[in-house]
């Protein structure tokens, strides 16, 4: 009975579990506590915004959630697996299989066409050539860029480049889409379109974590986590968030 219970609990494990995460940078004699005791659980299917002003520790926690970096102390359980002490190469494997990234600056490779850009993470994740092309074209179709697959980034508008970056994040059907200031380089109309699209992806079951300094962007998520001086100071649904911002 006991065993059976445990098994059930594992299959219901949260997607992300951060337990007392600290990230401390040493600058000479000074310590910067970029993350100072973060506890956060995110379930499959959630759409969470992490919001805070500049220097509050957003990029630090995003790097940890994204398996780009490990904490100084604390535990990070991703899909039931403790990844807090893995080496770089082990982190890279988890990252490529599990997480789709969307950055403010799109980060498309200038010398590769759109298709090759979208295929690249699939290459790292070990997809076959045929599977890469199929999955990349499917993702490009999803963002409405199927006709642009031959184009190089400089032949695309800013909005198209960001949609290309979204396709790249989606193509491997990751467990988590992690977006760092994804609307930061877009005008307000394109920014709204991108946030609408992230909402659609969430409605389809994708888990999204959105990092932003902008409250109006954070309000497009379903749950908002506010970070200040490396600590979580608010965690609630978006309606509660709106109320406490107004209060």
Phi, psi of 18 (to 5 degrees): -105, 125
Asked whether 22 and 33 are in contact (CB, 8 A), the reply is yes
Asked if 54 is part of the footprint of ligand ADP (rule: CB under 6 A), the reply reads yes
Strand 30-42 to 16-27 pairing: antiparallel
Candidates 1, 3, 5, 27; binder of ligand ADP (CB under 6 A) is 27
Name which of ligand ADP, Mg ion, none residue 144 binds, using a CB cut-off of 5 to 8 Å depending on partner kind: none
Name which of Mg ion, ligand ADP, none residue 34 binds, using a CB cut-off of 5 to 8 Å depending on partner kind: ligand ADP
Asked if 104 is part of the footprint of Mg ion (rule: CB under 5 A), the reply reads no
Q: Where are the beta strands (DSSP E) in the chain?
A: 16-27, 30-42, 47-51, 73-78, 81-82, 99-103, 176-180, 207-212, 223-228, 231-237
Candidates 21, 42, 60, 127; binder of ligand ADP (CB under 6 A) is 60
Beta carbon nearer to ligand ADP, 136 or 211: 211
Distance of CA 42 to CAs 24, 50, 113, 143, 236, Å?
23, 12, 35, 26, 12
Asked if 112 is part of the footprint of Mg ion (rule: CB under 5 A), the reply reads no
Asked if 32 is part of the footprint of ligand ADP (rule: CB under 6 A), the reply reads yes
Name which of Mg ion, ligand ADP, none residue 113 binds, using a CB cut-off of 5 to 8 Å depending on partner kind: none
Only one of the segments 49-57, 134-142, 146-154, 189-197 lies at the binding site for ligand ADP (rule: CB under 6 A); that segment is 49-57
Candidates 14, 41, 45, 59; binder of Mg ion (CB under 5 A) is 59
Least distance to ligand ADP from the beta carbon of 230, Å? Answer: 7
Candidates 16, 18, 21, 34; binder of ligand ADP (CB under 6 A) is 34
Phi, psi of 158 (to 5 degrees): -55, -45
Beta carbon nearer to Mg ion, 59 or 151: 59
Least distance to ligand ADP from the beta carbon of 213, Å? Answer: 7
Q: Kindly write down the DSSP assignment for every residue of 115-173, as one continuous string.
A: HHHHHHHHHHTT--HHHHHHHHHHHHHHTT-GGGTT--GGGS-HHHHHHHHHHHHHTT-
DSSP 225: E
List residues binding ligand ADP (CB under 6 A).
25, 27, 32, 34, 52, 54-60
């Amino acid at each position: 009975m006991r065993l059976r219970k445990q098994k059930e609990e594992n299959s219901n494990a949260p997607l992300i579990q951060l337990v007392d995460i600290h990230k401390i940078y040493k600058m000479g004699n000074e310590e910067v506590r970029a993350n100072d005791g973060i506890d956060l659980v995110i379930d499959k299917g959630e759409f969470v915004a992490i919001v805070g002003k500049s220097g509050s520790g957003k990029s630090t926690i995003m790097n940890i959630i994204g398996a780009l970096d490990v904490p100084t102390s604390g535990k990070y359980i991703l899909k039931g697996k403790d990844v807090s002490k893995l080496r770089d190469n082990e982190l890279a494997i988890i990252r490529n299989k599990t997480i789709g990234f969307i950055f403010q600056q799109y980060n498309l490779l200038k010398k590769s066409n759109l298709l090759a850009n979208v295929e690249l993470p699939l290459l790292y994740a070990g997809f076959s050539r045929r599977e890469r092309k199929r999955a990349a074209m499917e993702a490009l179709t999803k963002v409405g860029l199927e006709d642009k697959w031959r184009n190089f980034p400089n032949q695309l508008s800013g909005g198209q480049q960001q949609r290309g970056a979204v396709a790249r994040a989606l193509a491997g059907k990751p467990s988590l889409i992690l977006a760092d200031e994804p609307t930061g380089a877009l005008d307000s109309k394109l920014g709204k379109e991108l946030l609408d699209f992230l909402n659609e992806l969430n409605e389809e079951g994708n888990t999204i974590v959105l990092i932003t300094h902008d409250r109006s962007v954070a309000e497009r998520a379903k749950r908002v986590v506010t970070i200040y001086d490396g600590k979580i100071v608010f965690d609630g649904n978006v309606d509660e968030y709106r109320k406490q911002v107004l209060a």
